[in-house]
Amino acid sequence: MGDETASILGFDHVQVTAPRAAEERAKQFYGGVLGLREIPKPAALAGRGGAWYQCGDLQLHLGLEDDFAPQRKAHPAFRVPDLEAVRARLEAAGCPIAVDVQLPGVRRFEARDPFGNRLEFLQRIEEGGAGDGSGEAAGVKARVRDQFGRAAEAYVTSAGHARGDDLARLVELAAPTKEDVALDVSTGGGHTALALAARAGRVVASDLTPRMLAAARRFIVGAGATNVDYVVADAEALPFLDETFDLVTVRIAPHHYADVRRAAREMARVLKTGGRLALIDNIAPEDAALDRHLNDWERRRDPSHVRAYTVGEWRDFLAAAGLRVVHLETARKAHDFTSWTERMRMPAAERDALARDILAAPPEARDYFDVTERDGRLVSFGAYYMLCLALR
């Protein structure tokens, strides 16, 4: 019999390494793109840099090397519940994917981290896919992924999103500097992230929809920005540590959130003390009847629309999240009805019915929303948006 006191019980942790000069980028990949939960390093080792992550029952240790060489054969293999979801996250972040020989009872692929280290991801065939939970919130997020996945390229090329006056104003108020690490939540076509990249030291562009984030990455890379990372992320459960960012931005997105209060808390959580949140979103009128008109029109055009909130509601959300509003302004924008509906690929019959209902709205609604028609056809209508700057 062998000496049982000398037997190996199992693995405690696996280590990967990265170049010492790329520590932040490595943390962004393993903590942000892969979504691993960072855990504190022992005080005696903290000075060496790198990070430790919890990975199921084991740990992944990220070490730093001055004379780094990537591991092209040796590798960790991550067991996941939804292989396609992980693949989408990696592809959206621009990671190369390769399919290896498939094994009995397993689906798998391999990828490379930003430094060339080989990584494997596998799913047991009997394991079910992961979701966002159950109930209404999961349905909202599924609709968002479906709707914006199909409309991804249209949002990249949308003139209103790419060159709207609100974008320049957001950047002006946010005042990013080269010392800032910024997060753009729900980046959509990537226009805000690109605008920030010209001024901030580093930007993380995040979005719930992998196809949208992949389209944004192609757009941003094509524009020449090299200081942007890409993370598939739910605004209501951001995969970042507390107090990570100097600046968080979100532009024309929260009306799609299943739980906007939770999203506000998450954005506040990842801000450093003294950090800035610059937020733009469509707002509803304080008048209840006008509120109902706007949200009905938005929801019929886009089934993933949840609600445009009033300024008063937004003040409450931000205050409850521990944020202090230091600037708030509102402005009107006109929706060209044709491009507004085409961007979401609205079926012709539903589009025409919506146009008729907007034209048939009561006089006070037509006046408030500045409904414009020509020869009996709806040309445009106006709505308000809010831009605010809040501090943590």
Strand pairing category for 377-391 and 271-283: antiparallel
Residues 256 and 165 in one domain: yes
Give dist(CA 16, CA 71) in Å, integer: 8
Q: Is residue 337 part of a domain?
A: yes
Residues 227 and 364 in one domain: yes
Q: Is residue 131 part of a domain?
A: no
The pLDDT of residue 134? 46
Higher per-residue pLDDT: 145 or 312? 312
Q: Is residue 279 part of a domain?
A: yes
| Contact (CB, 8 A) for 267 and 320 | no
| pLDDT surpassing 50 at residue 129 | no
Closest to 16 in 3D by CA, of 51, 41, 54: 51
The pLDDT of residue 133? 47
Strand ranges, E, within the chain: 13-19, 37-39, 51-55, 58-65, 77-79, 97-98, 106-112, 118-124, 181-185, 202-207, 228-232, 245-251, 271-283, 324-336, 372-374, 377-391
| pLDDT surpassing 60 at residue 158 | no
Which residues on neighbouring strands pair with residue 79, listed in sequence order?
122
Residues 330 and 223 in one domain: yes
| pLDDT surpassing 50 at residue 290 | yes
Of 60-64, 140-144, 149-153, 256-260, give the lowest mean pLDDT range. 149-153
User: What does the mean pLDDT of the chain come to?
Assistant: 89
Sheet strand arrangement including 58-65 = 13-19, 58-65, 51-55, 37-39
Identity of the amino acid at 368:
Y
| pLDDT surpassing 80 at residue 155 | no
| pLDDT surpassing 90 at residue 377 | yes
Domain boundary among 92, 124, 156: 124
Give me the CATH number covering residue 337.
Answer: 3.40.50.150
| pLDDT surpassing 60 at residue 130 | no
Identity of the amino acid at 302:
D
Residues 41 and 71 in one domain: yes
Give dist(CA 76, CA 60) in Å, integer: 9
Domain that holds residue 253: 137-391
Residues 38 and 172 in one domain: no
Give me the CATH number covering residue 71.
Answer: 3.10.180.10
Task: Give the mean model confidence (pLDDT) for residues 109-133.
Answer: 78
Closest to 256 in 3D by CA, of 161, 329, 339, 185: 185
Q: Is residue 2 part of a domain?
A: no
Question: How many Cα atoms occupy the beta-carbon half-sphere of 381 within 13 Å?
Answer: 24
- In 23-135, which residue ranges form alpha helices assigned H by DSSP? 23-27, 43-46, 83-92
300-341 tens-digit pLDDT: 999 889 999 999 999 999 999 999 999 999 999 999 999 999
Given CA atoms 303, 157, 90, 237 in this order, what sign does their dihedral have?
negative
Q: Is residue 5 part of a domain?
A: no
| Contact (CB, 8 A) for 307 and 295 | yes
Phi, psi of 95 (to 5 degrees): -85, 135
Q: Is residue 6 part of a domain?
A: no
181-237 tens-digit pLDDT: 999 999 999 999 999 999 999 999 999 888 889 889 999 999 999 999 998 889 998
Task: Give the mean model confidence (pLDDT) for residues 78-90.
Answer: 88
Residues 353 and 212 in one domain: yes
Phi, psi of 100 (to 5 degrees): -95, 180
pTM of this structure: 0.71
The pLDDT of residue 296? 96
Strand pairing category for 13-19 and 324-336: unpaired
The pLDDT of residue 128? 45
The pLDDT of residue 210? 86
For the chain, the domain total comes to: 2
Give dist(CA 250, CA 278) in Å, integer: 7
Residues 338 and 301 in one domain: yes
User: Which residues touch 351 (CB under 8 Å, ≥6 apart)?
Assistant: 341
| pLDDT surpassing 70 at residue 1 | no
The pLDDT of residue 131? 43
Give dist(CA 28, CA 33) in Å, integer: 7
